[in-house]
């Protein structure tokens, strides 16, 4: 307490204002653990500064709530690093060994000024997942979605569970090939989501295998199947990006089991945010009948082709991307209201931000996406509402307001759905192919009505806002619907195309 008092009395005047916890040392840690993504909203209401410091034990976390400063954080990528944060987090998440962690840290290469293991991984992902490189994999995922929807019969279902199963299976197929564990062992997808449900518990507990046994065992089952996948050489049919990742690991001397654990971490990136986003997008659209009609008209006009001779209806992803502004806007708006991304970076040396704020070495700085996404200054008075047309004119979004001056384009760093700067999600092009195409075919081909015996569909479940902010927020309950082919689309064969 004395030390804390001394530190409080001697801050550098350039340091961001400090928001002291109500319980000394650990108050903010307790707040984050109990309030999750919500906690930054609570502290930002108390602080009201564009950047402030939350002291935690002997260190501190700076929280950024202005798009202008978020932009500076993105640009200071030589001293504000993702790697010192993501490596220990991934190790706790997937459980690889200490020796593998050292291979990933690659101190030798860094000392010699050569690209480290993580640099090479970063370059590999960004070079193999660009819009052009991802087209072949895009075609596979679209074929998979078409085939699986054809095989589906009408009936009742829990929408979130259905979305995540379908999305997990088609995505795993596109990344890991036809002999991926999700394809060979149908129960594995469920195991993956059992782990996801309690992954924070497994990560936070020093003895997760005892205290959060169910989730821990589920993870180990998936890892075991991924290890078998690698041992049997099934990765040879994987996408180019996965083949290159596997080669990079094995060439660097990472054991097969830890390579499998690293791929388990990749599944976290590829499956979770996308599945949850599809659910929320459908929820926001299907609960607004007028928006459903508007989107159907947009897709029918710009992206749908009907071949009467073969009774095939095709939807072109390229047209969805470039000629369906409302659909694209709805995707970004869905992320804006459900994704409180925090872009955490480790401050490796004292850094002065925007010529004004001093960030101390060995601290953490986070961009509070959840706060930024609800800021009325940034988005206008309807910041807390879902506005499907917000991103129609520009991908950065337009501020709502009553005068022309108020209706200005939003700062490009305010939308945090895919991060930004050097850690701009490399999977975003692929996610866009899957999500836009899946939603478009569901809207054109199916109706979602209330299940028998129920008074209506219970749309808009509450979001799991109190979870530690790791991605798009999950719904706290599922939404039951009856999914039925539209009369005018019966007997039609669907084909999702890239072009």
100 or 277: CB nearest ligand HEM: 277
Size of residue set near ligand HEM by CB under 6 A = 24
Q: Which two tokens stand for residue 103?
A: 């291979």
Per-residue contact flags (x/-) with ligand HEM for residues 256 to 285, judged by CB under 6 A: -------------xx--xx--x--------
State the nearest-atom distance from the C-beta of 396 to ligand HEM, in Å. 16
Q: At which residue do the structure tokens 């050569």 appear?
A: 114
- Binding range to ligand HEM, per CB under 6 A, among 137-145, 186-194, 389-397, 411-419: 411-419
- Is 340 a binding residue for ligand HEM by CB under 6 A? The answer is no
Least separation in angstroms between residue 484's CB and ligand HEM is: 27
List 235, 427, 445, 469, residue binding ligand HEM (CB under 6 A): 427
Q: What is the 3-state secondary structure (H, E, C) of the chain?
A: CHHHHHHHHCCCCCCCCECCCCCCCCHHHHHHHHHCCHHHHHHHHHHCCCEEEEEECCEEEEEECCHHHHHHHHHCCCCEECHHHHHHHHHHHHCCCHHHHHHHHCHHHHHCCCCCHHHHHHHHHHHHCCCCCCHHHHHHHHHHHHHHHHCCCCEEEEHHHHHHHHHHHHHHHHHHCCCCHHHHCCHHHHHHHHHHHCHHHHHHCCCHHHHCHHHHHHHHHHHHHHHHHHHCCHHHHCCHHHHHHHHHHHHCCCCHHHHHHHHHHHHHHHHHHHHHHHHHHHHHHHCCHHHHHHHHHHHHHHCEEEECCCCEEEEEHHHHHHHCHHHHHHHHHHHHHHCCCCCCEEECCCEEECCCEEECCCCEEEECHHHHCCCHHHHCCCCCCCCCCCCCCCCCCECCCCCCCCCCECCCCCCCCCEECCEECCCHHHHHHHHHHHHHHHHHHEEEECCCCCCCCCCCCCECCCCCCCCCCCECCCCEEEEEECHHHCCCEEEEECC
Whether 419 and 343 have beta carbons less than 8 Å apart is answered as: yes
User: Strand 364-367 to strand 59-64: parallel, antiparallel, or no bridges (unpaired)?
Assistant: parallel
Residue in the structure block whose two tokens are 């991924």: 226
Q: How far is the CB of 171 from ligand HEM (least distance, A)?
A: 7
The distance of closest approach from Cβ of residue 137 to ligand HEM in the complex, given in angstroms and rounded to an integer, is: 10
> How many Cβ atoms sit within 10 Å of the Cβ of residue 258?
22
Site map for ligand HEM, 463-482, x if CB under 6 A?
A: ---------x----------
Residue 163 annotated as lining a ligand binding site: no
Which is closer to ligand HEM, CB of 262 or CB of 314? 262
Which residue, 234 or 345, has its beta carbon nearer to ligand HEM?
345
Q: Rank residues 52 and 430 by Cβ distance to ligand HEM and give the closer one.
A: 430
Q: Which stretch binds ligand HEM (CB under 6 A): 218-226, 242-250, 337-345, 449-457?
A: 337-345
- Tell me which of 92, 122, 389, 485 binds ligand HEM, using CB under 6 A: 122
Q: Least separation, in Å, of the C-beta of 246 and ligand HEM?
A: 14
CB 288, min distance to ligand HEM, A: 21
**Binding residues among 57-96 for ligand HEM as defined by CB under 6 A:** 82
Q: What is the chain's alpha carbon radius of gyration, rounded to the nearest angstrom?
A: 23
**CA geometry: angle 462, 464, 465, nearest 5 deg:** 100
* Nearer to ligand HEM among residue 266 and residue 304 (C-beta): 266
Residue with token string 């049997």: 232
Measured torsion, CA atoms of residues 87, 89, 90, 94, in degrees rounded to the nearest 10: 140
Asked whether position 316 contacts ligand HEM by CB under 6 A, the answer is no
Binding range to ligand HEM, per CB under 6 A, among 158-166, 249-257, 318-326, 341-349: 341-349
| Of residues 428-447, those binding ligand HEM (CB under 6 A) | 430-431
Between 335 and 457, CB nearer to ligand HEM: 335
For ligand HEM, the nearest residue by Cβ is: 427
Q: Is 314 near ligand HEM (CB under 6 A)?
A: no
Contacting range for ligand HEM; rule: CB under 6 A; set: 32-40, 312-320, 412-420, 454-462: 412-420
| CB 309, min distance to ligand HEM, A | 36
189 binding ligand HEM? (CB under 6 A): no
Q: Which CB atom, from 304 or from 364, has the smaller least distance to ligand HEM?
A: 364
Asked if residue 174 lies in contact with residue 142, where contact means CB atoms within 8 angstroms, the answer is no
**146 vs 277 by CB, closer to ligand HEM:** 277
Query: What is the nearest approach in angstroms of ligand HEM to the Cβ of residue 168?
Result: 12
426 binds ligand HEM (CB under 6 A): yes
In the shown chain, the binding pattern of residues 125 to 154 toward ligand HEM, with x for contact by CB under 6 A and - for none, equals x---x-------------------------
**Closest approach of ligand HEM to the CB of residue 301, in Å:** 26
Say if CB 337 and CB 373 are below 8 A apart. Answer: yes
Footprint of ligand HEM (CB under 6 A): 82, 122, 125, 129, 269-270, 273-274, 277, 335, 339, 341, 343-344, 417-419, 423, 425-427, 430-431, 472
Binding positions are 425
Binding positions for heme are 425
């Amino acid at each position: 307490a004395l030390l804390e008092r001394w530190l409080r009395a001697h801050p550098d005047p350039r340091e961001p204002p400090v928001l002291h916890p109500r319980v000394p040392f650990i108050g903010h840690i307790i707040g984050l653990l109990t309030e999750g993504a919500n906690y930054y909203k609570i502290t930002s209401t108390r602080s009201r500064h564009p950047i402030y410091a939350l002291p935690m034990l002997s260190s501190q976390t700076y929280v950024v709530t202005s798009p202008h400063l978020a932009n500076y954080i993105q640009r200071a990528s030589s001293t504000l690093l993702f790697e010192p944060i993501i490596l220990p987090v991934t190790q706790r998440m997937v459980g690889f060994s200490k020796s593998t962690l050292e291979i990933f840290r690659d101190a030798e290469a860094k000392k010699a000024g050569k690209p480290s293991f993580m640099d090479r991984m970063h370059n590999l992902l960004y070079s193999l997942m660009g819009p052009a490189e991802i087209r072949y994999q895009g075609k596979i995922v679209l074929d998979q979605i078409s085939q699986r929807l054809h095989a589906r019969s009408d009936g009742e279902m829990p929408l979130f569970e259905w979305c995540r199963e379908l999305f997990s299976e088609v995505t795993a197929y596109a990344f890991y090939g036809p002999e991926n564990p999700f394809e060979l062992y149908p129960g594995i997808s469920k195991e993956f989501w059992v782990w996801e449900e309690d992954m924070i518990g497994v990560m936070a507990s020093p003895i997760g295998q005892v205290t959060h046994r169910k989730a821990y065992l589920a993870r180990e089952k998936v890892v075991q199947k991924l290890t078998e996948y690698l041992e049997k050489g099934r990765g040879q049919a994987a996408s180019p990006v996965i083949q290159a990742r596997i080669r990079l690991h094995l060439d660097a001397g990472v054991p097969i089991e830890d390579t499998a654990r690293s791929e388990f971490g990749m599944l976290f990136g590829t499956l979770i945010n996308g599945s949850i986003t599809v659910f929320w997008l459908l929820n926001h659209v299907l609960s607004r009948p007028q928006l459903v009609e508007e989107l159907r008209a947009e897709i029918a006009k710009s992206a749908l082709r009907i071949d009467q001779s073969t009774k095939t209806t095709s939807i072109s992803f390229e047209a969805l991307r470039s000629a369906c502004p409302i659909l694209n806007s709805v995707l970004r708006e869905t992320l804006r209201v459900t994704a409180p991304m925090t872009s955490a970076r480790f401050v490796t040396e004292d850094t002065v931000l925007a010529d004004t704020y001093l960030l101390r070495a060995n601290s953490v700085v986070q961009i509070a996406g959840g706060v930024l996404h609800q800021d009325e200054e940034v988005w206008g008075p309807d910041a807390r509402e879902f506005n499907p047309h917000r991103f129609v004119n520009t991908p950065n979004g337009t501020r709502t307001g009553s005068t022309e001056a108020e209706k200005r384009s939003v700062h490009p760093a305010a939308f945090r759905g895919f991060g930004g700067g050097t850690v701009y999600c490399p999977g975003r092009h692929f996610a866009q192919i899957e999500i836009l195409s899946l939603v478009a075919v569901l809207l054109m081909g199916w109706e979602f009505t209330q299940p028998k015996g129920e008074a209506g569909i219970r749309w808009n479940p509450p979001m799991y806002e109190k979870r530690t902010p790791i991605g798009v927020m999950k719904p706290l309950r599922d939404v039951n619907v009856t999914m039925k082919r539209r009369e005018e689309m019966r007997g039609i064969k669907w084909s999702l195309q890239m072009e």
